[in-house]
Amino acid sequence: MKIRINQITKKYAGDIVIDALNFEILKGSKIAIVGENGVGKSTLLKIIAGLETIESGDVIVPKEMRVQYMQQIFPTYTGGVRAYLSSQFKELHQLSEKLVQLSDAMSTEADVEKLLIQYGKVQSQFESQGGYEFENNVDRICKGLGIFQHLDKPYISLSGGEKTRIELAKCLLADAEVLCLDEPTNHLDFEGIAWLEQFCQASAKTIVLVSHDRKFIANVVTSIHEIEDGKLISYMGDYDYYRKEKQERFVRLVDDYKEQQKQIQKLQLAIRRYRQWGNESDNEDFYKKAKMLERRLEKIQRVPKPVELRNRLDITLDASIRSGEEVIIANDLSVGYDKPISSENSFRVKWQDRFAIVGKNGSGKSTLIKTLLGELPPLAGTVVIGPSVKVGYLPQQIMFPNQKERILQYVMHTCVLSEETARRYLVKFGFYQEDTYKPLHYLSGGERVRLKLLEILLSDVNLLILDEPTNHLDITSCEIIEQLVSEYQGTLVVVSHDRYFLESINARQYQLNVKATDSQ
């Protein structure tokens, strides 16, 4: 039993996003759809789930294969979280609501005996349909995703990140054979991601996911399918196989392209010579041979020029002004606003350290960063920044003062550079000729991070503080940021839940101390 996708084409505003794509999803498989931001990964996921129409082709889903999609748009639901999670099971939800109503009635009405009989009947129905087992699953999944404490809250009162985790829980609870998960690790901490990995590994369900979390992909999926120029390229192996095979495929494409170009040039040269000889000798046979070669040239199915793999940059990032050996010293540091979120933190960061601050969601990681930057005073304890330390800060949300300004203009005036020098640095950071004229509001997440890093590093900082630098980036962008950070010669302090990123930069991890009363 499998889902078959035959020659599907999808357009947005007249532009082809997915072009004559073929794909098969076998029952029980665990697959990842990857590609640069904007290539149609989420669109393909919605097509599989039946939530997007297509211009042509077929999506064949067996009747017995129910597909559940992890919603990214939050409903205006006014009830509680537990009721929201059970609302997809209408009969169970109605029975659960009836039990609550009868329980409330027994505390206010006189005819308790009659109500008890009704309650017993409804309870029996609820139990026979797996109601209590479902409630146990709700508790188990919500504990795993770190949202158990929100079950009795109104859905509408939750933050965007909390609602995202609720939508993930709803998808995992669904009575479906196929789960379509769109960036499921967003807003999860290390413990939540580890739990989700175990859930996916143990599940007999078919799982199709879009994710930029390379460690999650490596631990969960058995095949990776990349969208490139509207087509799907399948790699039937794990993440290590995908990386190796993608590089080898690129080399093969370059070789094929070069070989065909040689053949084309030979034919073009022969055509020119036959025409020249025909002109010089007025011989019709030479013209006929030229025509024959032209027809052969027209019939050649051209190998497209391979798009250069731009996930490696030719750059070394020096910290031109060395700081002292002691960069940050924290003693019994407590951070927060009205009351501590994280307390009794003691650590030292030395010159050229790679220091990662890790912890659960809500444990105060970003609050600690604000304290290190001097934006928030410590609630207790001390933090000392070395006297010769010059800090560069990359926030989670990167905004530019004038969103209409173009990349080249921005770098020239912000970094005080000539056009020639600005272009030279932009190329080093992966911004080529055609990119430099883009207005800033058109930049992708990865482009924003690269441009901000360029600005920061040209200001001669020797301590780089990064808050979730790979969040919401595609895999190629993550690899570029990874290289930039890895080659930085100064001191690095980073907040990140990207395990692959932290391993690749060889970061020393510091677990924040959290006050039990304030942790999430």
72 in a structural domain: no
The more confident residue out of 263 and 112 is: 263
The more confident residue out of 454 and 430 is: 454
Closest to 177 in 3D by CA, of 138, 220, 207, 133: 207
pLDDT of residue 518: 39
Average pLDDT over residues 298-304: 88
268 in a structural domain: yes
The more confident residue out of 19 and 132 is: 19
Q: Which long-range contacts (CB under 8 A, 24 or more apart) does 419-426 make?
A: 425/454, 425/458, 426/454
15 in a structural domain: yes
Contact 343, 513 (CB under 8 A): yes
Assign 439 to helix, strand or coil.
Answer: strand
Residues 207 and 122 in one domain: no
pLDDT of residue 519: 38
Give the pLDDT band (50/70/90) at residue 310.
low
**Phi, psi (deg, nearest 5) at residue 281:** -105, 0
Locus of tokens 């924290």:
330
Average pLDDT over residues 81-91: 85
pLDDT of residue 150: 94
Residues 418 and 432 in one domain: yes
Lowest mean pLDDT, pick from 282-286, 370-374, 382-386, 409-413: 282-286
Neighbouring C-beta atoms of residue 172, cutoff 10 Å: 26
pLDDT of residue 215: 95
Which of 158, 185, 219 is the C-terminal boundary of a domain? 158
| Tokens describing residue 426 | 């932009």
Contacts of 361 (CB under 8 A, 6+ apart): 146, 161, 187, 188, 189, 192, 520
User: Residue 358's beta-bridge partner residues?
Assistant: 511
Residues 61 and 207 in one domain: yes
Residues 273 and 411 in one domain: no
pLDDT of residue 117: 80
Average pLDDT over residues 6-23: 88
Residues 373 and 498 in one domain: yes
Res. 296: pLDDT tops 60: yes
123 in a structural domain: yes
Res. 192: pLDDT tops 50: yes
Contacts of 137 (CB under 8 A, 6+ apart): 173
Which of 218, 237, 256 is the C-terminal boundary of a domain? 237
Give the pLDDT band (50/70/90) at residue 322.
confident
Res. 520: pLDDT tops 50: no
Lowest mean pLDDT, pick from 74-78, 122-126, 257-261: 122-126
DSSP-derived secondary structure letter, 307: P
310 in a structural domain: no
> Taken in order 293, 299, 303, 304, is the CA torsion positive or negative?
positive
From residue 260, give the alpha-carbon distance in Å to each of 178, 249, 279, 298.
Answer: 43, 16, 29, 13
152 in a structural domain: yes
Residues 431 and 382 in one domain: yes
Give the pLDDT band (50/70/90) at residue 442.
confident
Any idea how long the chain is? 520
Residues 396 and 417 in one domain: yes
pLDDT of residue 417: 92
CA dihedral 202, 206, 211, 213 (to 10 degrees): 20
Give the pLDDT band (50/70/90) at residue 516.
very low
Residues 357 and 484 in one domain: yes
Per-residue pLDDT of 47-68, as tens digits, reads 999 999 999 999 999 988 899 9
> Taken in order 336, 342, 344, 347, is the CA torsion positive or negative?
negative
Which of 282, 299, 316 is the C-terminal boundary of a domain? 299
93's enclosing H/E stretch is helix 90-106
Lowest mean pLDDT, pick from 75-79, 144-148, 456-460: 456-460
- The domain tally of the chain equals 4
pLDDT of residue 517: 41
Average pLDDT over residues 433-439: 87
- Average pLDDT for the chain: 88
Res. 111: pLDDT tops 60: yes
pLDDT of residue 16: 86
Distance CA 492, CA 355 (A): 6
Contact 433, 407 (CB under 8 A): no
Distance CA 346, CA 134 (A): 44
Res. 483: pLDDT tops 90: no
Query: What is the reported pTM?
Result: 0.79
Distance CA 144, CA 304 (A): 47
Contact 449, 430 (CB under 8 A): no
32 in a structural domain: yes
236 — alpha (psi -120 to 50), left (phi > 0) or beta?
Answer: beta
Res. 27: pLDDT tops 90: yes
Residues 32 and 149 in one domain: no
Contacts of 342 (CB under 8 A, 6+ apart): 334, 335, 336, 359, 363, 364, 367, 368, 512, 513, 514, 515
User: Residue 155's beta-bridge partner residues?
Assistant: none
Contacts of 307 (CB under 8 A, 6+ apart): 228, 229
Locus of tokens 């669109």:
43
Distance CA 42, CA 17 (A): 11
Residues 352 and 271 in one domain: no
Neighbouring C-beta atoms of residue 59, cutoff 10 Å: 16
In percent, how much of the chain has pLDDT > 70? 95
Q: What is the CATH number of the domain that holds 51?
A: 3.40.50.300
Res. 12: pLDDT tops 80: yes
Describe the crossing of helices 445-457 and 407-414 by its angle, rounded to 10 degrees: 20
Q: What share of the chain is helix, strand, coil (3-state, %, to 5)?
A: 45, 20, 35
User: Range of 417's domain?
Assistant: 326-511
pLDDT of residue 348: 96
165 in a structural domain: no
pLDDT of residue 425: 87
Residues 28 and 113 in one domain: no
| Tokens describing residue 308 | 């250069």
pLDDT of residue 315: 61
Average pLDDT over residues 251-264: 92
| Tokens describing residue 303 | 């190998």
Res. 350: pLDDT tops 90: yes
Contact 184, 212 (CB under 8 A): no
DSSP-derived secondary structure letter, 154: B
Res. 384: pLDDT tops 60: yes
Residues 427 and 462 in one domain: yes
pLDDT of residue 100: 77
User: Residue 2's beta-bridge partner residues?
Assistant: 26
Lowest mean pLDDT, pick from 173-177, 314-318, 336-340: 314-318
